[in-house]
Structure 1
Amino acid sequence: MAGPAGAAESAEAADSAEPRPSGFAALGLDGAVLAALDDVGYETPSAIQAATIPLLLEGRDVVGLAQTGTGKTAAFALPILARLDLDVREPQALVLAPTRELALQVCEAFERYAAHLPGVHILPVYGGQGYGVQLSALRRGVHVVVGTPGRIMDHLDRGTLDLSGIRYLVLDEADEMLRMGFAEDVESILADTPDDKQVALFSATMPATIRRMSQQYLNDPEEVRVAAKTQTSANITQRHLVVSHAQKLDALTRILEVENFEGMIVFVRTKNATEELAEKLRARGFSAAAINGDLAQAQRERTVEQLKSGALDILVATDVAARGLDVDRISHVVNYDIPTDSEPYVHRIGRTGRAGRTGDAISFVTPRERGLLARIEKATRQPIAQMPLPSVDEVNETRLTRFDDRITAALDEAPRIERFRDIIAHYVRHHDVPEVDVAAALAVVAQGESPLLLEPDPEPRFERRQRDDERRGRQRDGDDRGRGERRGWDDDRERPDRRRREDSGALQSYRIAVGRRHRVEPRQIVGALANEGGLRREDFGRIQIRGDFSLVELPATLPRDVLDRLEGTRISGRLIELRPDRGGPQRFDRDSGRDRRRDGDRAPRRDDDRGGARRDDRAPRRDDEQAARPARKPRHSSRRDQD
Structure 2
Amino acid sequence: MTETDAPAASDAAAETAAPTFSDLGLSDPVLKALREIGYETPSAIQAATIPTLLSGRDVVGMAQTGTGKTAAFALPIVDRLDPAQKNPQALVLAPTRELALQVCEAFEKYAGHLKGVHVLPVYGGQGYGVQLSALRRGVHIVVGTPGRIIDHLEKGTLDLSELSYLVLDEADEMLKMGFAEDVETILAETPDTKQVALFSATMPAAIRRMSKQYLHDPEEITVKTKTTTSATISQRYLITAWQRKMDALTRILEVENFDGMIVFGRTRSITEEIAEKLRARGYSAAAINGDIAQAQREKTVNQLKSGKLDILVATDVAARGLDVERISHVVNYDIPTDTESYVHRIGRTGRAGRTGDAISFVTPKERWLVRAIEKATRQELTEMSLPSVDEVNETRLSRFDDRITAALAESERVDRFRDIVAHYVRHHDVPEVDVAAALAIVAQGETPLLLDPDVEPARPPRDRDDRRDRSDRRESDRSDRGDRPERRAGQYAMYRIEVGKRHRVEPRQIVGALANEGGLRRDDFGRIQIRPDFSLVELPADMSRDTLDRLSDTRISGRLIEIRPDTGGPARRRSGGDERRPPRERDARGDRKPRRRDG
Per the shorter chain, which TM-score range? Answer: 0.7 to 0.9
Q: Report deviation, 1:280.
A: 2.6
- Matched AA of 1:195: D
Q: In the alignment, does 2:460 pair up with 1:478? A: no
Between 1 and 2, higher relative CO (CA 8 Å, sep ≥ 6) is seen in: 2
In 2, the alpha carbon distance for the partners of 1:513 and 1:21 equals 53
**Preserved CA contact (<8 Å) 1:150 1:531:** no
1:446 corresponds to which residue? 443
1:11 corresponds to which residue? none
2:103 corresponds to which residue? 106
In 2, the alpha carbon distance for the partners of 1:352 and 1:80 equals 22
**Preserved CA contact (<8 Å) 1:511 1:549:** no
**Preserved CA contact (<8 Å) 1:80 1:168:** yes
Change in CA separation of 1:161 and 1:312 when aligned onto 2, cut-off 3 Å: closer
Render the CA deviation track for 1:446-499: whole Å, top value 9, x for unaligned.
3323233444448x6x425x32xx539x67x71326788xxxxxxx9xx9x899
Identical aligned pairs, as a percentage? 63
* Structure 1 vs Structure 2 CA RMSD: 3.8
Render the CA deviation track for 1:400-431: whole Å, top value 9, x for unaligned.
554455556667764144233245336636xx
1:118 corresponds to which residue? 115
Q: Report deviation, 1:173.
A: 0.4
SS in 2 for 1:201: strand
**Preserved CA contact (<8 Å) 1:23 1:44:** yes
Change in CA separation of 1:39 and 1:271 when aligned onto 2, cut-off 3 Å: farther
- Matched AA of 1:608: G
Q: In the alignment, does 2:545 pair up with 1:560? A: yes
Identify the match of residue 249 of structure 2 among 249, 252, 260. Answer: 252
Q: In the alignment, does 2:576 pair up with 1:608? A: yes
Q: In the alignment, does 2:293 pair up with 1:325? A: no
- Matched AA of 2:75: L
- Matched AA of 1:479: D
- Matched AA of 2:419: R
1:528 corresponds to which residue? 513
2:424 corresponds to which residue? 424
The 5 A counterparts of 1:212-611 are 212-228=209-225, 230=227, 237-259=234-256, 261-268=257-264, 272=268, 276-289=273-286, 300-306=301-307, 313-316=310-313, 320=319, 323-327=322-326, 332-338=329-335, 340-341=339-340, 343-344=343-344, 347-351=347-351, 354=354, 360-378=357-375, 381-403=378-400, 406=403, 414-425=414-425, 428=428, 442-457=439-454, 462-464=457-459, 466-467=460-461, 470-471=462-463, 478-480=468-470, 505-506=486-487, 508-514=492-498, 516=500, 519=503, 520-537=505-522, 539-546=524-531, 549-571=534-556, 573-579=559-565, 586-587=570-571, 606-609=574-577
In 2, the alpha carbon distance for the partners of 1:499 and 1:204 equals 33
Render the CA deviation track for 1:592-638: whole Å, top value 9, x for unaligned.
xxxxxxxxxxxxx94424699xxxxxxxxxxxxxxxxxxxxxxxxxx
Change in CA separation of 1:214 and 1:410 when aligned onto 2, cut-off 3 Å: closer
Change in CA separation of 1:160 and 1:321 when aligned onto 2, cut-off 3 Å: same
SS in 1 for 2:248: helix
Q: Which one has a bigger Cα radius of gyration?
A: 1
In 2, the alpha carbon distance for the partners of 1:577 and 1:346 equals 34
Change in CA separation of 1:537 and 1:54 when aligned onto 2, cut-off 3 Å: farther
Unaligned residue ranges in structure 2 (runs of 5+): 1-16, 581-599
**Preserved CA contact (<8 Å) 2:496 2:534:** yes
- Matched AA of 1:463: A
**Preserved CA contact (<8 Å) 2:232 2:350:** no
In 2, the alpha carbon distance for the partners of 1:264 and 1:316 equals 11
Unaligned residue ranges in structure 1 (runs of 5+): 1-19, 485-491, 589-604, 613-643
Q: Report deviation, 1:130.
A: 0.5
Render the CA deviation track for 1:118-154: whole Å, top value 9, x for unaligned.
1111111100000111111111111111110111111
**Preserved CA contact (<8 Å) 2:228 2:343:** no
Change in CA separation of 1:394 and 1:181 when aligned onto 2, cut-off 3 Å: same
Q: Report deviation, 1:246.
A: 3.7
**Preserved CA contact (<8 Å) 1:66 1:203:** yes
**Preserved CA contact (<8 Å) 1:266 1:336:** no
Q: Report deviation, 1:282.
A: 2.0
Change in CA separation of 1:135 and 1:46 when aligned onto 2, cut-off 3 Å: same
Q: In the alignment, does 2:21 pair up with 1:24? A: yes
SS in 2 for 1:552: strand
In 1, the alpha carbon distance for the partners of 2:578 and 2:310 equals 54
Q: Report deviation, 1:188.
A: 0.8
**Preserved CA contact (<8 Å) 2:525 2:540:** yes
Change in CA separation of 1:93 and 1:402 when aligned onto 2, cut-off 3 Å: closer
Change in CA separation of 1:421 and 1:411 when aligned onto 2, cut-off 3 Å: farther
TM-score by length of 2: 0.79
TM-score by length of 1: 0.74
**Preserved CA contact (<8 Å) 2:91 2:165:** yes
- Matched AA of 2:562: I
In 1, the alpha carbon distance for the partners of 2:199 and 2:482 equals 34
In 1, the alpha carbon distance for the partners of 2:424 and 2:323 equals 54
Identify the match of residue 78 of structure 2 among 78, 81, 87. Answer: 81
2:125 corresponds to which residue? 128
Q: Report deviation, 1:160.
A: 1.4
**Preserved CA contact (<8 Å) 2:497 2:536:** no
1:631 corresponds to which residue? none
Q: Report deviation, 1:250.
A: 1.4
Q: Report deviation, 1:387.
A: 1.3
**Preserved CA contact (<8 Å) 1:428 1:434:** no
Q: Report deviation, 1:386.
A: 1.1
Change in CA separation of 1:281 and 1:60 when aligned onto 2, cut-off 3 Å: same
Change in CA separation of 1:546 and 1:23 when aligned onto 2, cut-off 3 Å: same
In 1, the alpha carbon distance for the partners of 2:535 and 2:193 equals 41
SS in 2 for 1:145: strand
The 5 A counterparts of 1:26-175 are 26-175=23-172
- Matched AA of 2:496: I
SS in 1 for 2:56: coil
**Preserved CA contact (<8 Å) 1:335 1:362:** yes
**Preserved CA contact (<8 Å) 1:289 1:303:** no
Change in CA separation of 1:564 and 1:246 when aligned onto 2, cut-off 3 Å: farther
SS in 2 for 1:248: helix
| Matched residue count | 545
- Matched AA of 1:428: H
In 2, the alpha carbon distance for the partners of 1:180 and 1:276 equals 29
In 2, the alpha carbon distance for the partners of 1:427 and 1:280 equals 45
- Matched AA of 1:303: L
**Preserved CA contact (<8 Å) 2:530 2:578:** no
Q: Report deviation, 1:110.
A: 0.8
**Preserved CA contact (<8 Å) 1:411 1:417:** no
SS in 2 for 1:523: helix
Change in CA separation of 1:78 and 1:439 when aligned onto 2, cut-off 3 Å: closer
- Matched AA of 2:360: S
- Matched AA of 1:69: G
